Structure 1
Amino acid sequence: MYENKKVLIFGLGLNDGGLGMAEYFLKEGALVTITDMKSEEELKAQIEVLSEYENVQFHLGRHIEKDFIEHDIIIRNPAIKPDNKYLRLARNSGKEIVMEMALFHKVASSPIIGITGTRGKSTTTTLIYEILKDVYKEKVFLGGNIGKSAIRELPNLSKHDIAVLELSSFQLDGMGESTVSPHIAVVTNLYKDHIDWHGSMDEYIKAKKNIFLHQIKDDYLVVNIDNDITKEFVDESPGKVITFSLKDKEANYYMDDDLNVYENGKEIFKLDNLKLKGEHNHYNILAAVSTARIYDIPVESIKKVVESFEGVTNRQEFVRELDGVKYYNDTCATSVEAMLAMFNTFGEKYKGKIVMIAGGVDKGLEYELLLNDMRKYLKSLVLFEGTASEKIDTVVGPYVDTHKYFDSMKGAIDKARELANEGDMVILCPGASSFNMFINEFDRGKQFVDYVNSL
């Protein structure tokens, strides 16, 4: 399909996405150029992998304008904003610009379930995958914004498989440019987030809507109607709409306070031994149940998987207990709502006993919404370096015992350990981006877990 096509990888990056795209096109017979502001030394591991291929060249430490004019296809890294000057140059030259998830949707022969939202998308994505896998076994693939390069799986997928993909607003922005949407679109919720990248809340919502805007009438939108923003999507969807709610009994899927789950008004099962805690996880469960029932998964199978599901790493993840202090990794809590969910889970049990490590790069969030919970539940606050940390300190500093600004994970944990006593808990709950100190949020979580386990 891409033999002898000139393909420019705009931003190889340190994750597997850029490398996976480069290898995909090289195996397809394309002539690939890598352009990245990082140095050869920084990209050493990726270059070593690509050195096995013949038709690849590297333009590192800079970008060359003619690359964006002379290549047929520009592969955009999700971190690159759509108004980037090189992308504008490529558009003005009539070039095809595509991102990994958009390409996957264009080429994959399998049906795709895409999941997005400000909160809960990783838990919901993984839970949908686990439920479907219980019935369809190896025919279900998990990928997207969840740490795996989906493009690598393309050659292995057929129309009999199911791809379950977590989709970020950055990826969905690219899908909008390519006018593609998944067969089943799942939206957990939307709150203020990534304003630094999108420029405004309206642009953030616009990007998220791409998950369903390019569907056809036989596709599905599974949507939370308790959220003030996502409930409006019901009237905008071109496909079939399935609603879920914890408040509205008229929704297609509803869960009451006793954890009875209803399908179109009829009780289908009760969750008796649920390991996932918190209202936010009840929404995640309903989203997964709603999706699984499109595939007619038996309710007995759904109940079994949901009750045994312990959650995903990096989200309120228990790491260990040391000297009577429990340590939790919540590195994926990068929004105000995620931080509020943490307090909802642990606040009352550990009132005045929570030592929280937070901060990083600001995303345009409103930390004033956290003040009451922080004053009520925190024992101490330990802040990383960064613009978000400075904003948090301005809001919370006068009211909470605050320690600032730490330029390493080790330093922050050592301070938190010093502050915590037996019966307390220490949690990494950043409420910010990670890029000033870490490769990404997963690297931040790994550094936390690794150092805590080394103590």
Structure 2
Amino acid sequence: MDNSVYGRQSGHSDGHLHVLIDAVNEDALALARYLSRRGRHVTILHAGNGEPESVQETFGDEGGKVDFRLRTEITDIDDAEALLVSLSTPPRDLIIDHARSKGIKLTNLADTILRDASGPTIGVTGSAGKTTTTFLLTAILRDSGFDVLGSTDYRLTPSGPGKAMLEAIGSRNDTLWSVVELTSHHLDYVTTSPSIGIVTNLFPDHQDWHGSLEAYRSAKQNLLRFQKSGDVAVLNFDDPEVRGNFHGLGRGREIYFSALDNITDGVVVADGHIASRCRGRYDRICPVSELRVPSHHIPNALAAATVAIELGVDWETLRDGLIRFRGLPQRCQFLGTLNGVEIYDDTIGMNPRKALKGLETFPDNSLIVVSGGVLQSQGGEKRVSSLMEKADLGLFCEMLLRKAKSIVLFDEGGDVIERTLAKTGRGTPRVIRAEGFEAAVLQAVEAAHDGMRLLISPVFYNPPSDMRRFLEGLVGKSD
């Protein structure tokens, strides 16, 4: 591993490069173990509360190169070469500002994976569609015989690479393709771009976290900013933000896709088919009517197809992969029935625009919907705080009026939705209030009748693992 990735050479007394990791969680501890085994002296920054004592013994032989320091002691980090930032650390945190002022390099787990992957990498970002694209592309490449590792192999929410992928890249050969979903939280701190970078779209999101649309966009642009001459950027031509602000960022080739048939070279939707236009040749891949996913996923299918074609996947395998794909777990996924009620899991939709896309796929007047959550995530990010997000929430509530007969709302997010519904000036579906997520789901099952489907669409923040664990247990008791 090239020590220069961490900036200046270490002056640490034990001769090891000294790096800091800002968090005590599963991913951070895996990263500490990974780096210490590669000759780093690792200091884990913690908030107190007995955290070091509870995990120190798990390091075994690495204990001599792993120690702990209180996070509040930010004046004591000046001897470090790099600070590996947690996803839960806000960009304007004091420790980030201090590290920058001291010339300490900022990086993270995703950057480590992109840099250390033994084979080529594919990175996927966008304001929406990145999980679907990552999942679908991984499946198509695997079906085609590629040795491929996808971040969605291990988890969908929270999205992106984590402990399992970090551990896997160190044990595979240089023929392995790594397909990695990358959020703006990851990309804020990467200094390595993937061999192939996919941008699905860009619209205002996470502005409270990043501080502005410009800062959010800049983080996303890091996906391509460090690409080399042999690398490839795959871009959505139909999205003006992508077309205007991601063109020319890297030093490699650019390939476009278009669901509106706006390009003469690339993957398009034309004459009712997903098709490839390349050097004057036109090849139909499959009819759009045979896809089993909602129409808003067609651009994601085009993105995956573009990369598959670039890598030489044969037409039959590509067509079968596109047609067979039924969508993501946790994305309008049918879980089963309980007391005769069909339950659909859309818990991946924890912002208004994603929740709206899920809601649109159901018939009018067919649903009882569970929505709500808290206004701030565990990492401190505020939800539905920008003008654009509030406008999207208004559109979500307008759609609720069409799709839902009843709504079960919970927590502060439920309060916001109820107030937004009241502003429509129209009659609202029956509103039921509940204390917390689990109570809301149970009350919805009890209130559903006459063939109604239950859609769980939080809109606001809820711990993803808690929701998934409860729903799996609930459906385990199904009819």
Structure 1 length-normalised TM: 0.88
Structure 2 counterpart of 1:27, from 37, 44, 49: 37
Aligned twin of 1:286: 302
String of CA shifts for 1:420-440, please: whole Å, max 9, x gaps: 114111111112222xxx2xx
- Residues 331, 345 of structure 2: 8 Å contact kept: yes
Aligned twin of 1:223: 235
Q: For the structure 1 residues 184 and 379, does the alpha-carbon distance in structure 2 shift closer, same or farther, using more than 3 Å as the test?
A: same
Q: For the structure 1 residues 182 and 260, does the alpha-carbon distance in structure 2 shift closer, same or farther, using more than 3 Å as the test?
A: closer
**Aligned AA (1:242):** I
String of CA shifts for 1:158-188, please: whole Å, max 9, x gaps: 432211101011001111xx3x211111111
Q: For the structure 1 residues 449 and 201, does the alpha-carbon distance in structure 2 shift closer, same or farther, using more than 3 Å as the test?
A: farther
Aligned twin of 2:212: 200
String of CA shifts for 1:80-139, please: whole Å, max 9, x gaps: 1222111221222222221111122233342110001121111110111111112334x2
> By how many angstroms is 1:261 displaced?
2.6
Sequence identity, in percent? 25
> By how many angstroms is 1:30 displaced?
2.4
CA distance in 1, matches of 2:476, 2:450: 17
> By how many angstroms is 1:155 displaced?
1.9
CA distance in 2, matches of 1:29, 1:303: 46
**Aligned AA (2:467):** R
Are 1:376 and 2:402 matched, yes or no?
yes
Q: Moved runs in structure 1, 4+ residues, more than 6 A? A: none
- Residues 221, 249 of structure 2: 8 Å contact kept: no
Aligned twin of 1:450: 473
Alignment of 1:201-280 (within 5 A): 201-233=213-245, 235-238=247-250, 239-250=252-263, 252-256=266-270, 258-264=272-278, 266-271=282-287, 274=290, 276-280=292-296
Secondary structure of 1:318's aligned partner: strand
- Residues 87, 186 of structure 2: 8 Å contact kept: yes
Aligned twin of 2:155: none
Structure 1 counterpart of 2:439, from 411, 424, 434: 411
CA distance in 2, matches of 1:206, 1:454: 47
Secondary structure of 2:87's aligned partner: coil
**Aligned AA (2:471):** F
**Aligned AA (2:418):** D
- Residues 355, 459 of structure 2: 8 Å contact kept: yes
- Residues 273, 307 of structure 1: 8 Å contact kept: no
**Aligned AA (2:394):** E
String of CA shifts for 1:370-403, please: whole Å, max 9, x gaps: 23211111112222313x3332221114633223
Q: Which stretch of structure 1 is more off in the superposition, 140-149 or 87-96? A: 140-149
CA distance in 2, matches of 1:47, 1:331: 35
Q: Any stretches of 5+ residues in structure 1 without a counterpart?
A: none
Are 1:402 and 2:431 matched, yes or no?
yes
Alignment of 1:45-444 (within 5 A): 49-50=58-59, 53-55=62-64, 56-59=66-69, 62-137=71-146, 139-143=147-151, 145-146=159-160, 148-149=162-163, 150-175=165-190, 178=191, 180-233=192-245, 235-238=247-250, 239-250=252-263, 252-256=266-270, 258-264=272-278, 266-271=282-287, 274=290, 276-346=292-362, 348=363, 351-360=364-373, 361=375, 362-364=383-385, 365-366=389-390, 367-386=393-412, 388-397=413-422, 399-404=428-433, 406-407=435-436, 409-434=437-462, 438=463, 441-444=464-467
String of CA shifts for 1:308-328, please: whole Å, max 9, x gaps: 223322111111022331101
Secondary structure of 1:345's aligned partner: coil
Structure 2 length-normalised TM: 0.84
CA distance in 2, matches of 1:272, 1:102: 36
CA distance in 1, matches of 2:384, 2:358: 19
CA distance in 1, matches of 2:115, 2:37: 18
Alignment root-mean-square deviation, CA: 2.5
- Residues 122, 179 of structure 2: 8 Å contact kept: yes
Q: For the structure 1 residues 43 and 133, does the alpha-carbon distance in structure 2 shift closer, same or farther, using more than 3 Å as the test?
A: farther
> By how many angstroms is 1:42 displaced?
10
**Aligned AA (2:446):** E
> By how many angstroms is 1:249 displaced?
4.5
Q: Which stretch of structure 1 is more off in the superposition, 252-261 or 295-304? A: 252-261
Secondary structure of 1:136's aligned partner: coil
> By how many angstroms is 1:306 displaced?
1.9
Secondary structure of 1:69's aligned partner: coil
